[in-house]
Copies of this chain bind each other. A is one copy, B any other.
Amino acid sequence: MTIRAVVWGENVHERKNKVVAGVYPTGMHQAIADALNADPGIEAATATLDQPKNGLPKGRLDDVDVLVWWGHAAHGEVEDKVVERVAEAVWGGMGLILLHSAHFSKIFKRLMGTPCNLTWREAGERERIWVTSRSHPIAAGLPDHFELEQEEMYGEPFGVPEPLETVFVSWFQGGEVFRSGLTWRRGAGNVFYFRPGHETYPTYHDANVQTVLRNAVKWAHNPAPRIASVNDAPNVPVAKALEPIEERGPRLHHDGEEGYR
């Protein structure tokens, strides 16, 4: 079964900044989608901020298995409705991969419930990424560590909830460390944050990074049918209780009434 992925990119610096345009002439979203499509088991399309409804109109996510998100300069321009749409898709079972500066995207902060902040330095320094969870599916085919000769530094503390698993930890030349690969589950959706990917460096052309991207998409894919009613809180009437009970005591709600929200 082919996994249907969409790579969302804000596509701002690729058009405004010569350096970024030089590194990613077809856009970062396209470079990432190309890396995914190198795997015959993945079929990756793209969506960008400048498209109508930020490229994610109603219905678009219905048959998306995994969404990959890269944003940086224009987090604030993503419509709140779109953010909510993505959140509901995740709760229903869609996988979500957040890349690099997407740590400050609305959708990541929405799903984490924390500030998602960190320290940073843009100096083109060396990053060395260590696998901390041996044989984790997201690390399949990787050596025990790999290097990116030039990257932006992100440093701890990383303002996120304790993850389910820590898959990667980064070493930086300037003296910092960062938990670079973390997993969570939100509803039925698998969520993975992966640190590297500053737009002025050729990170998404790196073979090991591309391996992580493909692995992450496969890991995040939940083959279960999408849950439609992710926010439902159904009442179970006394008459339908699984064990026979009788109603006792006072009540607030009338029969058939919905609960408060």
Chain A positions within 8 Å of B, measured between CB atoms, are 13, 17, 19-20, 72-76, 87, 91, 93, 101, 104, 110-115, 117-125, 128, 130-137, 140, 144-145, 147, 150, 153, 155-159, 161-162, 164-166, 169-177, 179, 184-188, 198-201, 222-224, 227, 230-238, 241-243, 245-253, 259-261
Complex CA gap A235/B261 in Å reads: 41
A–B pairs, 25, beta carbons within 8 Å: A91-B114, A91-B115, A112-B113, A115-B230, A122-B253, A123-B238, A123-B245, A128-B177, A130-B157, A131-B156, A132-B179, A133-B185, A137-B222, A137-B224, A140-B224, A145-B242, A156-B169, A162-B185, A165-B185, A166-B166, A169-B177, A169-B179, A171-B172, A176-B236, A200-B249
Q: Which residue of B lies closest to A133 (CB)?
A: B157
Q: Is the interface of A mostly helix, strand, loop or mixed?
A: loop
Write out the residue numbers on chain B whose beta carbons fall within 8 Å of the beta carbon of A134. Answer: 157, 159, 187-188, 227
- B161 and A171: CB pair below 8 A? no
Q: Are A157 and B131 in contact (CB under 8 A)?
A: yes
Q: Which chain B residues lie closer than 8 Å to A188 at the CB level?
A: 134-136
Taking CB atoms, residues of chain B closer than 8 Å to A198 are: 252
Q: Pick the residue among B115, B232, B248, B259 that contacts A231 (CB under 8 A).
A: B115
CB nearest to A107 among chain B residues: B113
Within 8 Å CB of A246, what residues of B? Answer: 123
Contact A161-B185, Cβ < 8 Å, known A113-B113, A137-B222, A227-B134: yes
Do A124 and B247 have beta carbons less than 8 Å apart?
yes
CA distance A140 to B179 in the complex (A): 21
If A242-B175, A247-B124 touch, whether A224 touches B157 (CB-CB below 8 Å) is: no
* Chain B residues with CB below 8 A from A125, complex form: 245, 248
Q: What is the distance, in angstroms, from A109's C-beta to the closest C-beta of chain B?
A: 8
Contact of A247 with B123 in the complex, beta carbons under 8 Å: yes
B114 touches A187 (CB 8 A): yes
Contact of A201 among B117, B249, B261 (CB under 8 A): B249
- Given known A234-B119, A238-B121, contact A251–B157 (CB-CB < 8 A): no
